[in-house]
Structure 1
């Protein structure tokens, strides 16, 4: 079958039915070069209103973007319908002029004749002024804002106005100055109702950059902007306090004093937000101006000490506690809506440093109960249990997910060979939550230990040593298992000690002085005493177990308890015998340092062994209490050595440095 080529002459197509055609390279070149004569001859052969680029730009868009003023003027005069056309991104000719062009005479005329173009937004929600500010096109920005000042406060899709963008850009080319020097009335409303005071505040942008110069500029030209709020961040004082911007807080407290009495969405005053941050200087600034902190209560009825303890800001807690008694006294034991004192909140949230500072202050009551009738220690105990359950549950969930992942992604070995496997890919998402829960659990445990030694309510003997009664069937099974294990241990100890009695330790060199021989005989007597004692006690324990097991089964429980004591004592004596044999082996040795090292290590292990054996001798219920006490001791010591000391030492050195400076100034003044 032969192909048929059909040639169509575009001039033969009716112009009314012609679809949008692409701008050819000749037209594009003429526009770029602003060649009006060649352009006019070429444009007569096309339907100008239908010519576009792939992005939907008309000839007028292209002319404006290249700054071709002659062609721009010709097209605007000859084809006025092109002026209001928007491309695929809904950009008008002013958007392109703002991004790429200049404020030529033609552009100025178009702005004057078509003021509605200034308010047009593209798909990003940007007006031409937005684009002018983003590209630092000062000339076009000045033209647009002078023609329609309100557009400086219109918000784009991200809630940012041109004024916000100018602040965010650091006032490059002084565009911010032009935007502020306009007479506008508030509130401002755009056609779609999205304008300042909605959206992002330019004052918040200046605070975010910690730029006091821009803050002062805004306060001088447009002081009403200082009162703008953002839903998430609150007013300007809230935001400056949250990031610890001291200079900004000082300026705002002078220019926007009333902002200190406003609450944010969470119901907090700026002074509460300052207590959540770690900036003591900001809290000090508030207290210097508002020396009545008890009057500032958030929606939960919490004062500044409540908030500082809740968020674990030890520096702020320490500063508040050091203030004069009249200022601090109403805060120390105040209760919130739930009946919690600052110590309750520090205990519940596991804020170890804040809890330690509060519990060590004699003015703080340790045993106040909240609405649930819990003291701070009991609240911390309950919170610690929940944290432990969450920690265990998360660990089990991760193990289950790992198991499911392995089962779903089990690939034969021959398929895996030659492929690179990322071993960290599976754990990346779950690592962060697990780490957070681990840290929280550790903080809760340490906080509980601090309260155990400083604010633990007295308990009755029954509460300390609860009687645990196991079911009879379970008790029989456990006793049977313990009897078997103890018999194995006693036989092993008896066998080792019997072998030690047969082969006594000997001196390495028998030709020693009489003094060494006397020492050897004493050590040998001690060795025999310990070895024979270990053998005897282990045999006694084994015989009692056998006697109770076969002759009198009802005495198994006391027999097991007595045998445990005998076995533990035998093990300690066996280690003592070994220690004496080492002393005999080192007797007369010239390696003094080696002898000391061996003896010190042996003594340390002997103490550790006795420490581990001791819980087996004491009753089971007391054993649990002892273990709990030892864990609290470890956690408390760990806190004092590694957490509190790292925090306290720099603070103490800073205080000493300040005192030294004041003393030097005072001495200089006195001397003067």
Structure 2
């Protein structure tokens, strides 16, 4: 190898820094690499002859590779140099099967570049036994069956990268069996074509006769092509795939197309599948987890699909999974309150869903169930537990959810069974550490409010008169907004001082005194914040916009909206929502839902 050949080739195109060593005697000369990227056949031949004469290795020069094991044919494919590729294939036909470090042949790279004309030219240039060129449809099958490290054939790459349908059909005609080969994701070219709405490609595959190979593909755990059509959400494509009778329809998890359509909420697909299912097999078929399609829809919260399935088979509402759960159980277990609400309105529900919703920490579902008069909140399960027993014995991921569930159950009259086989969880004894941070925080806020309102009391809006007979008097003394400002500011200062004094008593360390002080200081501080907000609104209206009525109206509207919004979380701290009084329950209904909504963080969707 020449010294110049050890220099690093350019990193554009198919190459990048090498991740594994290549034998030095097989490392491509940098001059030949450069000419391959340029695509000038004459210059390439001159460099090839020059290197061959220098090293006397004419038979193996074209087999040299770059650091990423790319041959000259790989590089020509990357840059789309057709004439150069034809020359290389004629001189060294074996290069068409060579793989680089990713397992790609030159044909893989060309398909990834959406250059199937390159694939056809290279395959047409591959000489037959007689030395004559042959059409791509007559090329040897092994070329299209070569897979890379992702399990993709050239046909996979062509479909993944959305090549033109007419060009893809040429590859299918060359080797129809490849259309059913799954890659490592289990996706066959037929699956990809169905997902991409490639009608011409699917039709070409359907006309091929490869039934004898289907068992091989099932053994490879290929995803059903009909699932690809469902994922693509195209009814016409779904109909076309279903017409291919030889296509298997259940995946490695035992899910039918109806399971799959229900799991992604594809209502039109469910309707199409139900219309085609004359034997009623699919709607009663369980997957490997023991779920029927209606259970899957309930688990996902797709009410429209649940309704559709119940319309064609009303008995599905009673069907159980292999775990003994009906659709109401499943919806309650996975927190799908919309399905729970629908089923309860359609069917007289039991109480077991209440146990499940409590156990899996779904306060919104618990709230729906406790408001339904048909649900007995004190009915026990097979362990002798009521839902209230579960609420106080199971540690949920968030204590706030646990408290919301406990509140919902307590307000509807739920009580422990008394004969539960599971001992209740012992409550943690309170200590000063439980209150210390809260008391210090409230003390800091109340001190800041007192300081601000005290300063505002001596910095009156508009200032003071400097001339007789009203010298020293506030300029806006007789304005209604000024009087409102003074009253609100005074209330805010004294209530915040009162809260601060109460919290100072809480520092004595007595637990009972600390708890009492906390419960009294909180409403005083809330009143101070509310009064300070009103005072601010009055002061701004008085100083800045007293002569602009439209701006005054806007400020008042904004202030009222904010004050109402401030009132909601403030009142939620004091409304006794755990009371069984019906009036208080109605008052706290929407505030409770607001707390549930606020407590729900983003959830990661888990696939089946």
Same fold (TM over 0.5): yes
Alignment of 1:244-643 (within 5 A): 244-256=265-277, 257-293=280-316, 295-323=318-346, 328-329=347-348, 332-333=349-350, 341-383=352-394, 386-387=395-396, 437-450=398-411, 453-456=412-415, 640-643=589-592
When Rg is computed on C-alpha atoms for both structures, the one with the higher figure is 1
SS of the aligned residue for 1:164 comes to: helix
Asked if the contact 2:407–2:577 (Cα under 8 Å) also holds between the matched residues in 1, the reply is: no
CA distance in 1, matches of 2:323, 2:33: 70
Alignment of 1:31-430 (within 5 A): 32-33=38-39, 35=41, 39=45, 42-43=48-49, 45=53, 46-51=57-62, 52-54=64-66, 55-66=68-79, 68-100=81-113, 101=115, 102=117, 103-108=119-124, 110=126, 111=136, 112-138=138-164, 140-168=167-195, 170-171=196-197, 175-185=201-211, 188=214, 198-220=221-243, 222-223=244-245, 225=247, 227-231=249-253, 234-256=255-277, 257-293=280-316, 295-323=318-346, 328-329=347-348, 332-333=349-350, 341-383=352-394, 386-387=395-396
Asked if the contact 2:235–2:269 (Cα under 8 Å) also holds between the matched residues in 1, the reply is: yes
Q: Kindly tell me: are residues 314 and 638 of structure 1, through their superposed partners in 2, closer, same or farther at Cα, counting changes over 3 Å? A: farther
CA distance in 2, matches of 1:302, 1:376: 17
Cα deviation 1:415-457 (Å, max 9, x = unaligned): xxxxxxxxxxxxxxxxxxxxx524532443234324xx24436
Superposition deviation, residue 258 in structure 1:
2.1
Asked if the contact 2:301–2:331 (Cα under 8 Å) also holds between the matched residues in 1, the reply is: no
Asked if the contact 1:31–1:71 (Cα under 8 Å) also holds between the matched residues in 2, the reply is: no
CA distance in 2, matches of 1:312, 1:82: 58
CA distance in 2, matches of 1:27, 1:362: 80
CA distance in 2, matches of 1:198, 1:252: 23
* RMSD of aligned alpha carbons: 4.5
CA distance in 2, matches of 1:77, 1:99: 23
CA distance in 2, matches of 1:309, 1:629: 22
CA distance in 2, matches of 1:92, 1:172: 25
CA distance in 1, matches of 2:72, 2:42: 13
Superposition deviation, residue 165 in structure 1:
3.2
CA distance in 2, matches of 1:9, 1:276: 65
Superposition deviation, residue 179 in structure 1:
4.3
CA distance in 1, matches of 2:363, 2:3: 85
Q: Kindly tell me: are residues 380 and 98 of structure 1, through their superposed partners in 2, closer, same or farther at Cα, counting changes over 3 Å? A: same
SS of the aligned residue for 2:214 comes to: coil
CA distance in 1, matches of 2:36, 2:317: 75
Gaps of 5+ in 2: 6-22, 127-135, 420-512, 514-519, 521-573, 598-608
Structure with the higher helix share, 1 or 2:
1
Query: What TM-score does the superposition give when structure 2 sets the normalisation length?
Result: 0.56
CA distance in 1, matches of 2:273, 2:403: 40
Q: Displaced runs of 4+ in structure 1, greater than 6 A?
A: 7-10, 194-197, 457-460, 631-635, 645-648
CA distance in 2, matches of 1:381, 1:322: 29
Q: Kindly tell me: are residues 148 and 240 of structure 1, through their superposed partners in 2, closer, same or farther at Cα, counting changes over 3 Å? A: same
Query: What TM-score does the superposition give when structure 1 sets the normalisation length?
Result: 0.51
Superposition deviation, residue 292 in structure 1:
0.9
Q: Kindly tell me: are residues 354 and 93 of structure 1, through their superposed partners in 2, closer, same or farther at Cα, counting changes over 3 Å? A: closer
Superposition deviation, residue 157 in structure 1:
2.9
SS of the aligned residue for 1:265 comes to: coil
Gaps of 5+ in 1: 1-6, 11-16, 334-339, 388-435, 461-563, 565-570, 572-611, 613-626, 649-672
SS of the aligned residue for 1:298 comes to: coil
Superposition deviation, residue 286 in structure 1:
0.8
Superposition deviation, residue 185 in structure 1:
2.0
Q: Kindly tell me: are residues 96 and 277 of structure 1, through their superposed partners in 2, closer, same or farther at Cα, counting changes over 3 Å? A: closer
Q: Kindly tell me: are residues 647 and 123 of structure 1, through their superposed partners in 2, closer, same or farther at Cα, counting changes over 3 Å? A: closer
Cα deviation 1:442-495 (Å, max 9, x = unaligned): 443234324xx24436989xxxxxxxxxxxxxxxxxxxxxxxxxxxxxxxxxxx
Superposition deviation, residue 282 in structure 1:
1.0
